[in-house]
Structure 1
Amino acid sequence: MPHLPFSVVGVLHWLLASLWLVSLNAQAAIEVGTLTGELNLGPHVQLLEDAERELDIEQLVGEGGALAWQPSRQETLNFSFSDSAWWLRLRFENNASSPVRRLLELAMPLHDYLDAYVVDEQGDTVDRWQTGDRRRFDSRPVAHRTFVLPIHVPAGASREIFLRLDTHDGLYDATPLSLMSDAGFLAKSQRELMAFSLYFGALLALLIYNLLLYVATRERSLLLYVTYLGSFFVLMFTARGFAFEHWWPALPQFNNQLVPINIGVFAVTLAVFSNSFLNLRRHAPGVTRAIFGVAGLCLLSSLPALLGHYAPVFRLMIPAAIVLSGLLLGVAVWRSWQRDTLARIYLVAWGVLLVGVALYFLRVAGVLPYNLVTEYAVQVGSGIEFLLLSLGLAWKINQFKNEKLAAERATLELQRSLNERLEVVVEQRTRELERANRRLMALARTDPLTGLLNRRQFHELVEEKLQERRRSGQPLLFAVMDIDDFKLFNDTHGHQAGDEVLMQVATLLLDHFRRAGDRLFRLGGEEFGILLEADSLEAGQHALERFRQALEQLRIPHETSRHGVVTGSFGLVCCSDCRQVPSAIALYRQADQAMYEAKERSRNRVVTRSLAGAWE
């Protein structure tokens, strides 16, 4: 082909540059020099559908305004199911006196392919990137779970940005597109990181807590809950882009396969857990089969993802998930109408989650605005759901225990009734023997004079309480009380009067220490033990002081006492770390020593010890 004269070449070059400038001016420029906050670029984008996937950046720049660019007018870009590639065009202008850098964020972590180009006024490409979640994580210019592109605009200059969006097999996700400064992006990232840290931390804490409960109780419903919560945790961690960023950044294909597969697994775990939680196999076996069938369909529909097919997966999975949600919601409403407490808890929990999902997808569809509520609605809803379900499980386990106890009592009653009909005489003798055994057991556990627990029970109960507090890490408070100068009282007034004083003291103890965890013992003679249900040494000391004053205000005459009335001396110990306490005897000795210190200090007082060091 012959060379064109120099002048003709110059004219053609001038014409192409003029056409390029005309195309640039046709699009309203975005002033970025004074941008401080976050700008939603959705309404400012121009779109071009590339149905044949043939266009490249050179064609777009060379053909200028001849292509059929259309304004988007969408708050959030959404191409849904499409076999085309899509080009996005933006123009940035910097009227400031210094160059600026702005960060363009495509806030959809699961977008397949993103090719980006920055073009200057002469039509030259000054920056380009090829990234996406089907490419390695290190292809991203900014290491972030979403796609962040640094755009440099010199002072008094403009830049045109071209983004090419494409998918593996025609499934697009809704794509929020925004522009911000470095400071704005840092602030937004910190807010998001704080929110997601709290959210995933709360889910992980619930998971570990209920897993430990399962290990301790072997309750099958707890294991199902942990499996359900675990599948949801992995699903959300993957869908939000954190798994690809932190767990497998070099495995984009595996990351893409995991999302639909985990949705199918989540559907199955949801169905299994809901069946157990609501006892559907008993109350609604037909609905149970339908729920398992739809959940199985969700799981089967995810399998083509292993072969690289995703659009058919979601075309089938989305309606199946909607049907599954409707079935679960319907059966929860029905069982709630039947006054099933668990169903009501489930209905509230599931309803909160569905509201969160609805708000999120309405925001994605552009019906609702983009804000903190709509963006994090799924996280808030799911967090509340799992917390409510955990509380419901606790209620359910307690209810099962009560029902088991009731059934055992009913069985025993039936057995007793049958025995009465068959052998009346034998039953009468058996009852007499049982009554005698009960009396013996009561005598073995309690002090016959005061009715308080005896020293043997002191050893057993305090050992149990120590084991419990070693596990929970809560403090343990124990006190020893001794009636002052009681031997002199017996010598003066006689042992019968002394027994009456012991019974009066026991009655007063029972009146003052009535909390569920309080335990009262007669350890021997005029010595009593008090196991207090208190949170601190100060609370225990306050309770003992109230009792000491009440005992003194009984005004039981005691002429040989320096106080003139019956009084008591108290030794109180508080163990902040029960793992350091070797035994109940060691605990008693410490309290007894504190009590004798009260004796030495003129009696009628409370001496306290906070124990955290060496033990005898």
Structure 2
Amino acid sequence: MRTYLWVGLLVSLLVSLSQSQLALAQDRLLDASLAGQPSVSLTGYFASLEDASTALTLDEVRSPAIAPRFETSAPSAAAINHGLTRSAYWLRLTLSNPTDQPLARMLQIDYPILSSVRFFSPLADGGYRLVDTGNAQPFDTRGYANRGFVFPLALPPHAEQTYYLRVQSLTPLIVPATLWEPTAFHHHERNDYLAQSWYFGMATAMILFNLLLFIALRDSIYLLYVTFAVSTVLAFSAEYGMAKEFLWPETTFWADISSGVFLSLAVANGLLFMRRMLDTTRNLPKLDRLFKALIALFFLAPLGFFFSLRALIPPTIALIGLTMLLVLATSLYCAVVKRQRSAIFFALAFSMLLLGAAVLVMRGLGLLPTNLLTAYGVEYGSALEMLLLALALADRFNTLRREKAAAQQHLVEHLQSHERVLEARVLQRTEELKAANERLETLSVTDALTGIANRRRFDEVLASEWSRAARAGHPLAVALLDIDWFKRYNDHYGHPAGDECLRRVAAVLRDQVCRTGDLVARYGGEEFAFIAPASNGEDALAIARRICLALENLALSHQPSEFGCVSCSIGVAALTPAEGRSPDQLVKAADEALYRAKEQGRNRAVLAEA
């Protein structure tokens, strides 16, 4: 009898284990090599389990009793979306590495306002390592610094690994998860932060610009725009995780409710701005009383978020939607019936924001999938809205200015026109003088015939490079070049041909001495020079020989020359500045080397003796 009992227990255990393995086998296995793709959505590869008690542990969900309850379904959207729920959800993911090399991958959850995200990755000893993070945790609990949730993975070769995620949130429970190849992820991350920087940078510029207008004009409408834009930007920075990363990384509960708080304040400030812009007190007095009540309600709503955020989210979202529709209808009425130009901009602006907000709301309620448009649509709408509202303010300002200008006397307008003409002439004259001074400065250091630096510029650069070489302990090289038998060339071909010869030689020097920092100059008459910083004698000698060869290849006819073509002799010298040495000694050494080059038969480069 006891034997049958043990056999029964063994059979039960085997059945339970087989059920657990069957549950894992039913999971869609993902090849982590990604088959050359940069990323893949994980929505269809997760097996999920609802934890209504929010009390299940990892060991319990892995147990044979609970593991088979995980459900796998074909993805109908780009993200798992359970909307507003008090339940926690466990997600199971199995990855395989069929390659011979270990694989590094990045698992990204691009929904920064999830309150709690617990990620369990397998260890070599069979245990699991926990990363316990989330929007309600300090930012430094994240294993990877990112506005969303990113978990680096390491898969051994020829292995399968199972990972677990536990997610729970006060806000809508949306899990847009993606598996990335690291290089592709870093590229995506850079572009993501670039897009966020573009939006917040543009918004900041609009805020500062209108704040300056308020300070300059003392018109409160610009301050109302600023408060509306600031609260909107803070709402989006909280919604998209930028505030958690950069503004309040250590907060917990505040991070969960901050997006709702600032969104409510943004609506209230937007209504204040609209009342002033459309002058509803005078144009729509009855409706204006409703707007006042809504403003008070939205200013008070954040207090309720501190006590019951989850309960207040649906009615708040519904009220925000109705309010925006009312604002749109009001602005359209003022534009069509009251013929207010600013109302046209206002209607267009709130249409953009309303469209983006509607997409966000329907995504939060699970009615739309999560993708690039639904994830960032409200930011796109907000950016367009801010620009259009700024245009509305500009149009309002221009309208007031035109009305004021029409009321001014004709004489004042004439004087202002005369003043503008005078200012334009002064500005034009100033620009002409500036351009003339720049030309004179350029001419003062440029040889007029050859277009290269002149002797004055050579001396200035030599002095500065000598000081630089002395500080760095580097050598400095100088070369002096003389065209062989140039006087005979002038006498034979004439001075115009001699001038052209000088220009051709200068062009050769420019082509051959071309490093950044090098200088080519006309030293005087038929003499040229170049300065080669941080070059020793051999380096400078090589440059000089290239010049001789290039000039020889130019084949510029010179019948009085022994070589039949224009050639040159070059003396090269290099020194490392030290106490007791001077730039003049360097030039003198180059000059002596030039003399030796001529003595040795010309058409050559000679390096000064050390």
TM-score normalised per structure 1:
0.63
State the partner residue of 1:519: 422
Partner secondary structure for residue 208 of structure 2: helix
CA offset digits 1:524-549 (Å, max 9, x no partner): xxxxxx82676994xxxxxxxxxxxx
CA change 1:368–1:23 in 2 (3 A) is closer
- Report the Cα offset of residue 28 of structure 1: 1.8
State the partner residue of 2:155: 153
2:111 is aligned with 1:112: no
State the partner residue of 1:398: 398
Partner secondary structure for residue 175 of structure 2: coil
State the partner residue of 1:133: 135
- Report the Cα offset of residue 203 of structure 1: 0.7
CA contact (8 A) 2:85 2:173 kept: no
CA offset digits 1:280-309 (Å, max 9, x no partner): 1111122122123223223322212234x2
Matches of 1:360 and 1:247 in 2, distance apart? 23
- Report the Cα offset of residue 399 of structure 1: 2.1
State the partner residue of 1:315: 314
CA contact (8 A) 1:121 1:159 kept: no
CA contact (8 A) 2:23 2:70 kept: no
Matches of 2:32 and 2:83 in 1, distance apart? 30
Matches of 1:241 and 1:575 in 2, distance apart? 51
- Report the Cα offset of residue 114 of structure 1: 1.2
Matches of 1:155 and 1:11 in 2, distance apart? 34
State the partner residue of 1:57: 58
Consecutive unaligned residues of structure 1, counting only runs of 5 or more, are: 410-434, 447-451, 454-460, 462-516, 521-529, 538-571, 577-589, 591-616
State the partner residue of 2:302: 302
Partner secondary structure for residue 357 of structure 2: helix
State the partner residue of 1:100: 103
Matches of 1:536 and 1:269 in 2, distance apart? 47
1:166 paired residue among 148, 165, 168:
168
Matches of 2:265 and 2:14 in 1, distance apart? 61
2:234 is aligned with 1:234: yes
- Report the Cα offset of residue 50 of structure 1: 1.3
Matches of 1:340 and 1:78 in 2, distance apart? 43
Letter in 2 for 1:126: Y
Q: For 1:439-454, list aligned pairs within 5 A.
A: none
Partner secondary structure for residue 135 of structure 2: coil
CA change 1:393–1:137 in 2 (3 A) is same
Q: For 1:556-575, list aligned pairs within 5 A.
A: 572-574=432-434
- Report the Cα offset of residue 334 of structure 1: 0.8
Matches of 2:6 and 2:329 in 1, distance apart? 79
CA offset digits 1:394-418 (Å, max 9, x no partner): 2212323444566788xxxxxxxxx
State the partner residue of 2:469: none
Matches of 1:134 and 1:535 in 2, distance apart? 63
- Report the Cα offset of residue 33 of structure 1: 2.3
Matches of 1:289 and 1:574 in 2, distance apart? 61
- Report the Cα offset of residue 442 of structure 1: 13
Matches of 1:535 and 1:303 in 2, distance apart? 63
CA change 1:366–1:43 in 2 (3 A) is farther
CA contact (8 A) 2:22 2:68 kept: no
Q: For 1:125-524, list aligned pairs within 5 A.
A: 125-168=127-170, 171-307=171-307, 309-338=308-337, 339-362=339-362, 370-403=370-403, 461=419, 517-519=420-422
Partner secondary structure for residue 158 of structure 2: coil
Identity %: 24
Consecutive unaligned residues of structure 2, counting only runs of 5 or more, are: 438-610
Letter in 1 for 2:133: T
- Report the Cα offset of residue 323 of structure 1: 1.5
CA contact (8 A) 1:145 1:241 kept: yes
CA change 1:364–1:442 in 2 (3 A) is closer
CA change 1:200–1:349 in 2 (3 A) is same
- Report the Cα offset of residue 172 of structure 1: 2.4
Partner secondary structure for residue 48 of structure 1: strand
Letter in 1 for 2:433: V
Partner secondary structure for residue 230 of structure 1: helix
CA contact (8 A) 1:19 1:65 kept: no
CA offset digits 1:150-198 (Å, max 9, x no partner): 2222111111122111235xx4243311111211210110010111111
Partner secondary structure for residue 232 of structure 2: helix
CA contact (8 A) 1:29 1:92 kept: yes
State the partner residue of 1:524: none
Matches of 1:13 and 1:535 in 2, distance apart? 97
CA contact (8 A) 2:90 2:167 kept: yes
Letter in 1 for 2:275: N
Q: Please identify, of 248-257 and 277-286, the stretch whose mean Cα deviation from structure 2 is larger.
A: 248-257
Letter in 2 for 1:43: G
Letter in 1 for 2:40: L
CA change 1:102–1:7 in 2 (3 A) is farther
CA offset digits 1:21-52 (Å, max 9, x no partner): 32221212011024531211122222211112
Matches of 1:20 and 1:265 in 2, distance apart? 50
Matches of 1:313 and 1:535 in 2, distance apart? 66
Letter in 2 for 1:158: E
CA change 1:83–1:344 in 2 (3 A) is same
CA contact (8 A) 1:260 1:313 kept: no
2:89 is aligned with 1:90: no
Matches of 1:89 and 1:318 in 2, distance apart? 32
- Report the Cα offset of residue 365 of structure 1: 6.0
- Report the Cα offset of residue 371 of structure 1: 4.5
CA contact (8 A) 1:116 1:163 kept: yes
CA offset digits 1:203-261 (Å, max 9, x no partner): 11111111111111111111111111111111111211111111221112222232222
Letter in 2 for 1:77: I
State the partner residue of 2:606: none
State the partner residue of 1:531: 425
State the partner residue of 1:551: none
State the partner residue of 1:479: none
CA contact (8 A) 2:139 2:245 kept: yes
State the partner residue of 1:44: 45
CA change 1:335–1:219 in 2 (3 A) is same
CA offset digits 1:90-136 (Å, max 9, x no partner): 111111111212211111111011122234799x3332221111111
Partner secondary structure for residue 172 of structure 1: coil
Letter in 2 for 1:324: T
CA change 1:192–1:89 in 2 (3 A) is same
CA contact (8 A) 2:43 2:177 kept: yes
CA offset digits 1:552-606 (Å, max 9, x no partner): xxxxxxxxxxxxxxxxxxxx53599xxxxxxxxxxxxx9xxxxxxxxxxxxxxxx
CA contact (8 A) 2:103 2:155 kept: yes
Matches of 1:376 and 1:118 in 2, distance apart? 30
Matches of 2:111 and 2:398 in 1, distance apart? 44
Letter in 2 for 1:137: F
Partner secondary structure for residue 70 of structure 1: coil
Matches of 1:442 and 1:200 in 2, distance apart? 41
CA contact (8 A) 1:117 1:128 kept: yes
Letter in 1 for 2:335: S
Matches of 1:364 and 1:257 in 2, distance apart? 15
CA contact (8 A) 1:519 1:532 kept: yes
Partner secondary structure for residue 143 of structure 1: coil
Matches of 2:295 and 2:82 in 1, distance apart? 28
- Report the Cα offset of residue 67 of structure 1: 3.8
